[in-house]
């Protein structure tokens, strides 16, 4: 295991497609590219004094050519080689009654060489797509989501979007045609605490997180797979990452504690306590699944081998 000290707390992390380079955004608003083999780094970019917002998320888009950062209420696309900013999209402010919806922070890249990103409109009643080439964002799906989109995710092949409609159902649709392929009603005993929907890496299952439980659904049949599994306590699991090949996922609960779980049984496999401060802030697996990185509030991140 490798633990690296930084100048500020870790805000966001993302692996490059090669699985070797780890991009780290700190709370000093600097982004650094770390070589996980040599444990050396090179500065990529740093926000200026005129940028008053912090970096909230990082993810790779455009077949590994762009790093997209969510900076406050703006999305910015950076060239991974030079760190130069290529495009940005200023997002409207979020109405106060929508601030707690996870959808306002769930930007999802579409597959392909263009850095296309799906995101929720400010009222969380529709999804839009941003292509950083100067064009205005276009609608992916307006839906009948008057009560708001709580959470959403994109299947690994980019052909299906899953939308968790506030306390009612999960809707699957084609992002190109907008045609709805399935609608799964949420059981009443799970609806109140439901907060996230995620596709598994094989695209065959949907994982619905609610309070300290997770329910797996068959994405093709629209049926639950076994009972809801308790992950521990009544904590919400705000951050999740799936292993790309193994039946394992990692999650950080709202107390800041990261854990590895078995995808099928929900059993805790390993607590990821690396002395990273009062809470872990972010985590991700490398694309090859060989390593996992966890960022902490005490100005450190840890990279460890995934031994399953």
Of residues 176, 173, 308, 151, the one with CA closest to residue 243: 308
Average pLDDT over residues 145-155: 85
- Which residues, 6+ apart, have CB-to-CB distance to 132 below 8 Å? 66, 77, 86, 87, 88, 89, 115
| pLDDT over threshold 80, residue 78 | yes
Question: What are 250's two structure tokens?
Answer: 């990692």
Judging by beta carbons within 10 Å of its beta carbon (0-12, 13-18, 19+), is residue 244 exposed, middle or buried? middle
**DSSP class of 188:** H
59 versus 138: the higher-pLDDT residue is 59
| pLDDT over threshold 90, residue 191 | no
Average pLDDT over residues 74-98: 82
Question: What are 117's two structure tokens?
Answer: 């990103």
Give per-residue pLDDT as tens, 203-220.
999 998 877 778 888 988
77 neighbors 85 (Cβ within 8 angstroms) = yes
Average pLDDT over residues 137-156: 76
Q: Which CATH architecture has domain 47-142?
A: Beta Barrel (2.40)
| pLDDT over threshold 70, residue 33 | yes
Residue 244: what pLDDT?
94
Fold equal for 47-142 and 144-230: yes
| pLDDT over threshold 90, residue 185 | no
Give per-residue pLDDT as tens, 226-276.
887 777 655 566 678 999 999 999 988 777 788 888 888 888 888 876 666
Give per-residue pLDDT as tens, 262-281.
888 888 888 876 666 678 88
Task: Give me the percent of the chain exceeding a pLDDT of 70.
Answer: 86
Average pLDDT over residues 155-184: 84
Of residues 218, 274, 59, the one with CA closest to residue 260: 274
**DSSP class of 9:** -
Residue 190: what pLDDT?
63
Measure the CA angle with vertex 187, ends 197 and 234; round to 5°.
65
| Domain spans of the chain, in order of start | 47-142, 144-230
| CATH entry, 144-230, from 1.10.240.10, 2.40.10.480, 2.120.10.30, 3.40.50.10440 | 2.40.10.480
User: Considering the chain, what is the average pLDDT of its residues?
Assistant: 84
Q: How far apart are the first and last CA of the chain?
A: 15
């Amino acid at each position: 295991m490798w633990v690296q000290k930084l100048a500020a707390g870790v805000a966001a992390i993302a692996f490059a497609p090669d699985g070797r380079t780890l991009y780290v955004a700190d709370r000093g608003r600097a982004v650094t590219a770390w070589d996980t083999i040599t444990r050396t780094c090179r500065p990529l970019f740093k926000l200026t004094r005129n940028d008053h917002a912090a970096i909230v998320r990082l993810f790779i888009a455009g077949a590994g050519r762009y790093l997209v950062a969510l900076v406050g209420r703006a999305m910015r696309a950076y060239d991974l080689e030079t760190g130069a900013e290529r495009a940005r999209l200023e997002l409207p402010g979020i109405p106060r009654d929508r601030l707690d919806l996870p959808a306002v922070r769930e930007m999802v890249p579409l597959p392909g060489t263009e850095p296309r990103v799906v995101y929720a409109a400010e009222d969380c009643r529709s999804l839009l797509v941003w292509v950083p080439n100067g064009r205005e964002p276009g609608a992916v799906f307006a839906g009948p989501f008057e009560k708001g989109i709580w959470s959403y995710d994109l299947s690994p092949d980019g052909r299906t979007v899953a939308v968790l409609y506030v306390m009612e159902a999960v809707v699957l649709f084609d992002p190109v045609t907008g045609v709805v392929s399935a609608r799964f009603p949420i059981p009443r005993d799970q609806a109140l605490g439901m907060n996230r929907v995620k596709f598994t890496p094989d695209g065959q299952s949907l994982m619905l997180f609610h309070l300290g439980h997770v329910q797996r659904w068959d994405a093709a049949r629209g049926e639950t797979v076994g009972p809801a599994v308790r992950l521990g306590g009544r904590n919400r699991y705000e951050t999740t990452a799936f292993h790309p090949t193994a039946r394992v996922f990692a999650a950080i609960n709202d107390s800041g504690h990261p854990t590895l779980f078995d995808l099928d049984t929900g059993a805790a496999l390993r607590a990821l306590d690396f002395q990273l401060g009062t809470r872990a802030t972010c985590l991700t697996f490398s694309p090859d699944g060989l390593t996992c990185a966890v960022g902490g509030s005490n100005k450190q991140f840890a990279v460890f081998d995934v031994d399953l």
